[in-house]
A and B are shown apart, each in its own frame.
Chain A
Amino acid sequence: MTQPVNRYCLIMLLLLIWGPGCQKDEETTRSTITVSIQHKVNQAPLALANTSYTNALGQPFTVTAFKYYLSNFTFTRADGSRVRINGQYYFVDEAVPESKKLTIANVPFGDYTGMSFTIGVDSIRNVSGAQTGALDPLSGMFWSWNSGYIMAKFEGTSKVSTAADTSLVFHVGGFKGEYNSLQTVALNTGSFKVPDNTHIALTADVATWFNTPNPISFITINKVHTPGIDGYKFSQNYSNMFTSVAVSE
């Protein structure tokens, strides 16, 4: 009986020595990266409200709201290995300029060639109860009747929309089953070194939502607000919306 007790004491003493090491000691080998996103429509800067754009079918539309979640940023090292940054979620809203500048903390120093991320909120956070910060349901990006995040939201108008108010409302979500709307985007950023280069500029083109691989006609689809095949089609389309423009200091 005495033997195990001694062993526990030894372990505890060792832990005691390490205990003060609970403070972070990695600031010197990790850096913060900023990712700035510019929203466009068919290459032109996005303007909310009255500016009219056209989809691939030549149908006109305006944009009144454009919002989405990004998460699970992963950076590819020059040797092919990947560094995934967990637990950081971003709510991007065209109407809130500062939301288009993402701060990604704790990226290890090193040489990188690319990055990937998820459009949406991973399934675990959809089932884990009340969340805070970017994931607070206050953002209006959470379905109360069918628990889960709205991964991305487009709202606008089109005179060809058959909705009574000619509106377009596309709320894309759903994190399980065959129409899981979570999309991973991989971008070739070119080579960059952390901490020398810590700013990545992206563009996201709203028009991609309606073009490929699933051309969207506003005559047949003007409303999505449940998980399902229509939302899934939008997610397939918008997985093409991002382009990496530049990496700089």
Chain B
Amino acid sequence: MIRKFIYIVCIFFLVWACRKSDQGGSAPVPYTLQLPDYFPATVYDMSQNPLTREGIALGRRLFYDPRLSRDSTVSCGFCHQQFAAFSHYDHPLSHGVGNNTGTRTVPGLFNLIYQKDFMWDGGVNNLEIQPLTPLTDPNEMGEDLQNVINKIQSNAQYRGMYKAAFGTTEVTTQRTFRALAQFMATMNSFESKYDSIMRKVQGVAFTTEEASGYATFQAKCASCHKEPLFTDGSFRSNGLPYNPALNDVGRMRITNSTGDYLKFKVPSLRNILRSQPYMHDGRFYDIFRVFEHYNKGVEAGANPDPLVKSGIPLSAKEQRELYFFFMTLTDMNFINNKEISEILIED
């Protein structure tokens, strides 16, 4: 007991000796993520940006604040709707300020701390840097970064929240992006029926059709849509015909390598029935159109991945069973999670 006491006292003095001298204000409250043990290790380095209640709250407000856009009409949450697993429901292509339209569909946002690359073409290499793209893209929020910082800095409510999260009222790019990253780090989806079954929750089991669908999924889809995240994070062409109107060459734009022609990031199938339309350009409104594409729509000239080159035969029965299995990937706790829902900003 006495040894333990000495030990604790020593640690206390050590911390005291090396402490920073400025100690104004109360420290933010640490926040610990509860993550499933059957998920892989996280990619985002939270040790450099420790999650706190205040940081997450600030990130949430930033996420839902349309004033960050050029004309104060478009927030992050404008396109990333919670009920659609933070994709843009029913919108094939992303929308932005001034009725502008982008060239790709809005991806759902969840399990982002497990992602190595962001955007459909993987052009963004860190979760913290991701907000820079939609904020400044003229087809999305269309605002200059300095203006974003100035607008936030001029708001008293924000100044208080920056102080609470980071110690002073100063608004910087890094603080802003780190707060957004903290909020996005809490957007995790792992409470679907599928997850209950993986966790062996008593009384939860696939129906016969779901089980058949799961078997089809494992046989025909799982090498790219790898469990438990339902993506392997790789870039592949699934043989979708090139759309000259959009002129989107995919990952080739990032790597300058013709081998990456028409390659896009393999999207997760979690919450898939909540996030239509499908494909990087939202060309399919219905998941059965997607099944049909793999069944017999893969185009040889579109640099298709070896795994889909010859198509993936899917009978009508298999397609229906896959649909039932996909229903088990919808996470209503995530979609209804009040901690990440939209907030009304009035000041």
Question: Which residues in A have some Cβ–Cβ distance to B below 8 Å?
Answer: 5-6, 8-9, 12-13, 15-16, 19-20, 22, 126-132, 136-138, 142, 144-148, 179, 226-228
Contact = CB atoms under 8 A, between A and B. Distances in A.
B127 interface: yes
B7 A130 contact: no
A147 B125 contact: yes
B4 to A, nearest CB: 8
Nearest to B10: A12
Interface in B94-153: 119, 123-129, 132-133, 136-137, 145-146, 149
Contacts, number: 93
A9 B7 contact: yes
Contact of B11 (A12, A22, A132, A145): A12
B10 A138 contact: no
A138 B145 contact: yes
Given A15-B14, A144-B129, A147-B124, 15 more contacts: A9-B7, A9-B10, A16-B13, A16-B17, A19-B13, A20-B17, A128-B126, A129-B48, A130-B174, A130-B177, A130-B178, A131-B174, A137-B132, A145-B124, A179-B256
Contacts of B176: 130
A170 to B, nearest CB: 17
21 contacts: A8-B7, A12-B6, A13-B10, A19-B14, A19-B16, A19-B17, A22-B17, A22-B18, A128-B48, A129-B49, A129-B129, A129-B181, A132-B174, A136-B172, A136-B174, A137-B132, A142-B132, A145-B133, A147-B126, A179-B256, A226-B256
Contacts of A137: 129, 132, 145, 173
A97 B176 CA distance: 29
B181 A144 contact: no
A13 B132 CA distance: 48
A130 B44 CA distance: 12
A12 B14 contact: yes
B328 to A, nearest CB: 35
Question: Which of A5, A12, A15, A226 neighbours the largest number of chain B CB atoms within 10 Å of its CB?
Answer: A12
Contacts of B198: none
B200 interface: no
Interface string B166-183: 000000111011100100
Contacts of A144: 124, 129, 132-133, 136-137
B3 interface: yes
B129 A138 contact: no
A38 B132 CA distance: 33
Interface of B: 3, 6-7, 10-11, 13-14, 16-18, 45, 48-49, 119, 123-129, 132-133, 136-137, 145-146, 149, 172-174, 176-178, 181, 253-254, 256
Given A144-B136, A227-B256, A136 B173 contact: yes
B59 to A, nearest CB: 12
A131 B48 CA distance: 11
B182 to A, nearest CB: 12
Contacts of A127: 125-126
Contacts of A22: 17-18
Contact of A130 (B6, B128, B136, B149): B128
Nearest to A13: B10
A22 B14 CA distance: 9
Contacts of B254: 146
Contacts of A131: 174
A130 B127 CA distance: 9
**Across chains A and B, which 3 residue pairs bring their CB atoms closest together, nearest first?**
A129-B128, A19-B17, A12-B10
Contact of B3 (A9, A16, A128): A9
